[in-house]
């Protein structure tokens, strides 16, 4: 038994040393989004220049800097995205780059839209040129400038924010909502269309 144990121990040591000397090749993990090429519509033109990508469409022209660890290649009416190396950063930014490119292509053809619902007695909003004037129960009206490239329409207590840049649309909508977040008792405030507010029961009077 002792000789068998020594033989097994020596065999395990030999296999461990061999594994350390000749490690198994590391499998490349690629984002599922990056496995398929990105289709470019007929009315959209994509230009790759150095570390930047520019998308021109019937609605807008959008530009963005590309991560240095990700490679983007245009082949006809397709874009292919791949990592330049096997680093963790390259693999992390792969899916993000694909999502950005898809949003730029979509935004150059049709606008992204966010809707905000204003609820509360006396709460209202007026769009005057490139400015929104809101009455939110404060002692003074709140004025917010509309960023360039965005369009805001007010109709019956609903603010519709639209634009080609999905990040600008989302950021501006969040900025407006933060001015008067919906309270949990009566739901007064500004909320997203479709947002569900968890309600709390108020104090009961005896």
Question: Does 47 fall in a domain?
Answer: yes
Number of domain units in the chain = 2
Position 13 scores a pLDDT of 56
Q: Is the predicted pLDDT of residue 20 greater than 70, yes or no? A: no
Question: Does 6 fall in a domain?
Answer: no
pTM: 0.77
Task: For residue 160, give every residue at least 6 positions away whose Cβ sits within 8 Å of its Cβ, in sequence order, or none.
Answer: 113, 114, 115, 152, 153, 154
Taking the CA atoms of residue 197, residue 198, residue 203 and residue 205 in that order, the dihedral angle to the nearest 10 degrees is 70
What domain range is 156 assigned to? 112-192
Closest to 103 in 3D by CA, of 37, 38, 35, 192: 38
100 and 122 within one domain: no
Burial 122-150 (b: 16+ CB within 10 A, else e): ebebebeeeebebebeeeeeeeeebbeeb
126 and 75 within one domain: no
- What token pair was written down for 165? 């840049």
Position 33 scores a pLDDT of 60
- DSSP codes joined into one string, 65-78: EPPTTEEEEEETTE
Question: Does 95 fall in a domain?
Answer: yes
Q: What is the mean pLDDT of residues 18-46?
A: 67
Position 172 scores a pLDDT of 97
Position 89 scores a pLDDT of 86
Q: Is the predicted pLDDT of residue 40 greater than 80, yes or no? A: yes
The lowest-confidence range among 32-41, 70-79, 149-158, 174-183 is 32-41
182 and 162 within one domain: yes
CB atoms within 10 A of CB 10: 10
Residue-wise pLDDT for 161-189, tens only, equals 999 999 999 999 999 999 999 888 887 89
What's the mean per-residue pLDDT of the chain? 84
φ, ψ of residue 34 in degrees (nearest 5):
-85, -10
Position 200 scores a pLDDT of 73
């Amino acid at each position: 038994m002792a000789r068998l144990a020594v033989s097994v121990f020596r065999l395990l040591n030999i296999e461990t040393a061999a594994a350390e000397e000749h490690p198994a090749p590391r499998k490349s993990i690629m984002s599922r989004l990056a496995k398929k090429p990105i289709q470019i519509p007929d009315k959209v033109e994509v230009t790759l220049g150095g570390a930047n990508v520019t998308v021109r469409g019937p609605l807008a022209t959008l530009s963005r800097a590309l991560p240095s660890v990700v490679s983007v290649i245009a082949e006809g009416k397709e874009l292919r995205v791949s990592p330049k190396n096997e680093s963790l950063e390259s693999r992390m930014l792969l899916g993000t780059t694909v999502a950005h490119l898809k949003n730029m292509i979509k935004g150059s053809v049709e606008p992204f839209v966010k809707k905000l619902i204003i609820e509360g007695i006396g709460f209202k909003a007026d769009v005057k040129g490139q400015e929104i004037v809101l009455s939110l129960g404060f002692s003074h009206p709140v004025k917010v400038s509309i960023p360039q490239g965005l369009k805001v329409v007010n109709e019956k207590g609903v603010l519709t924010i639209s634009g080609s840049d999905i990040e600008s649309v989302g950021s501006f909508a969040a900025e407006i909502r933060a001015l008067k977040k919906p309270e949990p008792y009566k739901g007064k405030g500004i909320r997203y269309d479709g947002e569900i507010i968890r309600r709390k029961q108020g104090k009961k009077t005896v």
